[in-house]
């Protein structure tokens, strides 16, 4: 997926309204690592700021960076508080802070960066024993008590909107080198309830759909109309609960 796909005000506003599942991932930090009381945090690839907002739950001051100016502009509007700061930057070129970061989060962005450059940059800007949390969560082909959705997802949705290529390998200690130590890698499931209209809006900014919109193969209005028409028999004027699959990798700077 082209990085420019994210530099779009439509996508930025859509990301701001995504489910705030980042909160659940951040709330796991103490349980999974026993660490708390962070002072200066960085959220790399902050998107529209939901992951930065989540990091603020456990950190005094947070900085969010994203390669997309549109995303950063939305963040500055949504989070004007003094303990938030945002600027445009890529994940492997974040500038040196006045005070090293004792925690860095990267939510849903490592698939788009060069691993070695990213880790080299993190090593330069983080404090000794700093915690690097890499996490993400994605939609699955399952809804609670809704078998029709699984068939729709596999046979209808993916046929019309195939998944674009992305790197999805799990990092090993050999991958992260001597500068970082992998503390723990876990996977888990989360759920979120959608109305039909909310789910249509959510699915219309998925990379599968967005790629076709950006390529001019379909308009945003056409994509939403198709989603609404094919999903109506599944929702039947009810809310439906989607199952998300998430993961968290905890790395400590050596």
**Domain with 20 in it: what CATH number?**
3.40.50.150
State the residue range of the domain holding 69.
Answer: 3-253
pLDDT in tens, 38-59: 999 999 999 999 999 999 999 9
Residues 36 and 58 sit within 8 Å (Cβ to Cβ): yes
The rounded percent of the chain whose pLDDT value lies above 90 is 77
Total domains, the chain: 1
- Helix H or strand E encompassing 109: none
Reported pTM: 0.91
pLDDT at 4 over 70: no
pLDDT one-digit tens code per residue, 142-166: 999 999 999 999 999 999 999 887 7
Cα(50)–Cα(107) distance, rounded to whole angstroms?
10
pLDDT of residue 49: 96
- Average pLDDT score over the chain: 92
98: which residues sit within 8 A by CB, 6+ positions away? none
Per-residue pLDDT band for 236 (boundaries 50, 70, 90) equals very high
Spatial separation of the C-alpha atoms in residues 162 and 136, rounded to whole Å: 20
Q: Is 26 exposed, middle or buried (0-12, 13-18, 19+ CB in 10 A)?
A: buried
In this structure, are residues 230 and 160 in contact, taking their beta carbons and an 8 Å threshold?
no
Backbone angles phi, psi at 60, to 5 degrees: -70, -50
Cα separations in angstroms, 158 against 81, 172, 206, 217, 254: 41, 30, 12, 15, 42
Residue pair 12/71 in contact by the 8 Å Cβ criterion? yes
Please state whether 108 falls in left (phi above 0), alpha (psi between -120 and 50) or beta.
left
Torsion of CA 58, 62, 66, 72, to 10 degrees: 120
Give the closest residue to 198 by CA, choosing from 242, 161, 155.
Answer: 242
- The confidence band for 3, taking pLDDT boundaries of 50, 70 and 90, is very low
Selection from 119, 118, 112 nearest residue 166 by Cα = 112
Instruction: State how far the Cα of 184 lies from the Cα of 194, in Å rounded to an integer.
Output: 32
Q: Which pLDDT band, with edges at 50, 70 and 90, does 90 fall under? A: confident
The confidence score (pLDDT) of residue 199 equals: 97
């Amino acid at each position: 997926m082209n990085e420019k796909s994210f530099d779009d005000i439509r996508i930025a506003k859509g990301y701001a309204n995504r489910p705030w599942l980042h909160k659940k991932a951040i709330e796991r930090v103490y349980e999974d690592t026993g660490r708390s009381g962070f002072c200066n945090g960085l959220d790399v690839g902050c998107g529209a700021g939901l992951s930065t907002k989540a990091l603020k739950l456990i950190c005094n001051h947070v900085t969010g960076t994203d390669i997309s100016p549109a995303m950063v502009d939305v963040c500055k509007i949504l989070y004007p508080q003094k303990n938030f700061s945002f600027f445009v930057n890529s994940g492997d070129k974040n500038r040196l802070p006045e005070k090293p970061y004792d925690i860095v989060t990267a939510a849903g962005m490592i698939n788009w960066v060069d691993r070695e450059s990213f880790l080299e940059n993190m090593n330069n800007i983080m404090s000794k024993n700093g915690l690097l949390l890499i996490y993400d969560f994605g939609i699955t082909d399952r809804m609670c008590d809704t078998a029709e959705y699984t068939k729709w997802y596999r046979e209808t949705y993916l046929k019309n909107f195939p998944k674009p290529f992305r790197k999805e390998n799990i990092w090993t200690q050999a991958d992260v080198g001597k500068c970082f130590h992998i503390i723990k890698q876990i996977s888990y499931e989360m759920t979120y309830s959608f109305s039909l209209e909310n789910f249509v809006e959510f699915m219309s900014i998925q990379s599968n759909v967005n790629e076709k919109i950006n390529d001019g193969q379909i308009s945003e209005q056409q994509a939403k109309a198709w989603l609404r028409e094919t999903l109506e028999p599944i929702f039947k004027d009810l809310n439906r609960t989607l199952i998300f699959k998430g993961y968290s990798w905890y790395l400590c700077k050596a």
